[in-house]
Chain A
């Protein structure tokens, strides 16, 4: 089975938030994950955009309420590229 988008995000979150034991799930958000501040947010976006070769359009990220919605958005972007 291919690795899910959420699983591919785990090491990125662990690196940026500097916590090797961190596990995020679909309900995680900036409110629930310690250290997810504005600088970490930019670093996450940079890493995700480069790693998954996608670009978030303006406003797309602001509307998301949790990681689950971000994963869905990323998958829509990756699928539409194919």
Chain B
């Protein structure tokens, strides 16, 4: 439950879970979030207890511990406009007018005269205006007003939206009038029920059995969406809206790994469906930037390589669009902290988008105040998943209530999480990694060849071999070959590392050592080293010789053999030679990966 309480309150919602575990979620949030009090009045057009109970959770998620006032059943109008001592004494910071199209009193009749429909429209607008004005003058609080959801049925069918007297038409015009009014007022916000109903779908929006049985104007699913939306509005109203979108690069802003594939081979552009989806996601990010959201990069890459990506002709985003750019091989939580510092923002202003679940996990665990949406790994879904979270509500506000300095205080960051990792080792341990390391075998030769021919960064020699050559090495006694496949609790990374060497006079000379950057900093290279040493000793070899051949891309492994305990034999401008003596044995160093051979892991 510790980490789940944030996830459970993120789309896609499991409404049954939220309903059943409301109290447990609440306790869990209270233990993890530093809160400020918020007094919320709900003036309802139907029952409101259900909404209040769910809104309570979403407000807690945003750091508000709410106290609620609920109007008597359906008396939203009377309790606002009549001098209401009980509401005054409650002294709300915020009043939510929770009405729906069930509360429209003056719907036109079929075939009603145009002028008479207009009168009804004015009457309805005036009724709600008097509510807002009374609340603003008498109570002086922020007001959030629902606009109207579409009707559950259409007497005129599609013409319901065309005819003056159609209910759909009437509701659409009312919504426009609400919008026009709200645009000129500070402290009045519209909760866009009309859009939310589209997102949920009318079938789940109206659950008539809950209306007839319990007088819930909208169903339990709709309630959760409305609560989330209200919490988003209030977070923004109190200046806590997110301000910076931090983006991973490889397979987030473009398809492919720039360090391996090169900028020319990235999947980006309208030639392929995937390439087009990445363009669409970049376009969305660009639009956010244009309305004032800061963009930043947080990528595991060499800085120069990472920047090259934005020279791609189909890249919508350009280098100058980014307010901060962190491309390095450090753990991402550190990079995010640097971004926040550079931009002078709190970590609670950041939203972190990465296609890699392991990166999302470590950021969510180490920096619980950073929003980390589960964006998935399919670029087709990125825009909507991100947009639905409502991180970037745009509001202007000048009502003094909302400027209370304590609400702006920067030190209300969420407490260190119970689930947080105390060290990087602990994180590695939590990944529950299992490796399969063994000599090349026919099942994997194609993948081994593919990896050998496209890996550029973690590649000691950058030698290329055909599948036939690799197969030949595996079959003779003069070579030692190893592949590594890594699984963790997020799934199977497949074959991600390759070593091959030739034996001369009982010593091994490494021809090939490479690894996919997807599994960098997992200790996989150490697991490979252990396996290599064991294999060499099994074959009674006395030493291993390692070679580093410098290229434009493989600087990250320039000290690879030094890190693994080899001694430097010689070094020149563009190469170095290393040696590990096995005569005195070898001590295993791999700590966090459980290693097995071919057959066992597939059993």
Contacts and interface: CB of A to CB of B under 8 A. Distances in A.
A49 B53 CA distance: 19
A42 B210 contact: yes
Contact of A18 (B16, B23, B53, B209): B23
A56 B209 contact: yes
A12 B22 CA distance: 11
B50 A58 contact: no
Nearest to A48: B16
Given A15-B24, A38-B49, A39-B50, A46 B16 contact: yes
Contacts of A46: 15-16, 19-20, 220
Contacts of A51: 16
Interface stretch (B211-219, B321-329, B363-371): B211-219
B16 A61 contact: no
A70 to B, nearest CB: 15
A47 B22 CA distance: 11
A51 B16 CA distance: 7
A50 interface: yes
Contacts of A58: 209, 212-213
Contact of A15 (B21, B49, B209, B214): B21
A16 B209 contact: no
Contacts of A65: none
Interface string A28-49: 0000000000110011001101
Contacts of A47: 16, 19-20
A1 interface: no
Interface in B49-102: 49-50, 53
> Which 7 pairs across A and B sit closest by C-beta, in order of nearness?
A50-B16, A47-B20, A18-B23, A46-B19, A15-B20, A43-B19, A46-B220
Q: Dominant SS at the B interface?
A: helix
Contact of A16 (B14, B15, B20, B50): B20
Nearest to A19: B23
B19 to A, nearest CB: 4
Given A47-B16, A50-B16, 6 more contacts: A18-B23, A42-B216, A46-B19, A50-B14, A57-B209, A61-B213
B19 A16 contact: yes
14 contacts: A12-B20, A15-B21, A16-B19, A18-B24, A39-B50, A42-B216, A43-B22, A46-B16, A46-B19, A47-B16, A50-B16, A56-B209, A58-B213, A62-B213
Interface string B181-220: 0000000000000000000000000000110111010001
Contacts of A61: 213
Contact of A39 (B15, B16, B49, B212): B49
Nearest to A17: B23
Contacts of A18: 23-24
A23 interface: no
Contacts of B210: 42
Contacts of B216: 42
Contacts of A12: 20
Most B CB contacts (10 A, CB to CB) among A15, A38, A56 go to A15
Interface in B194-249: 209-210, 212-214, 216, 220
A55 interface: yes
A58 B215 CA distance: 13
B31 to A, nearest CB: 15
B112 to A, nearest CB: 32
A51 B49 CA distance: 22
A26 to B, nearest CB: 21
B19 A55 contact: no
Given A39-B50, A50-B15, A55 B20 contact: no
Contacts of B49: 38-39
Most A CB contacts (10 A, CB to CB) among B19, B24, B212 go to B19
A41 to B, nearest CB: 8
A61 B212 CA distance: 13
Nearest to A61: B213
A4 B21 CA distance: 22
B214 A42 contact: yes
Contacts of B14: 50
Nearest to A16: B20
Nearest to A52: B16
B468 to A, nearest CB: 55
Nearest to B214: A42
Interface in B31-59: 49-50, 53
A75 B348 CA distance: 48
B20 A43 contact: yes
A15 B213 CA distance: 23
A55 B23 CA distance: 24
Interface string A52-82: 0001111001100000000000000000000
A61 B216 CA distance: 16
Contacts of A15: 20-21, 23-24
A37 B76 CA distance: 24
A36 B195 CA distance: 35
A50 B221 CA distance: 10
Interface string B1-41: 00000000000001110011111100000000000000000
Contacts of B23: 15, 18
A38 B50 CA distance: 10
A48 to B, nearest CB: 8
Nearest to B213: A58
A55 B209 contact: yes
Nearest to B27: A18
A5 to B, nearest CB: 16
A47 B23 CA distance: 14
A46 to B, nearest CB: 4
A44 B20 CA distance: 7
B28 to A, nearest CB: 12
Contacts of A49: 16
A13 B31 CA distance: 23
A78 B212 CA distance: 23
Most B CB contacts (10 A, CB to CB) among A16, A46, A56 go to A46
Contacts of B21: 15
Nearest to B16: A50
A61 B20 CA distance: 18
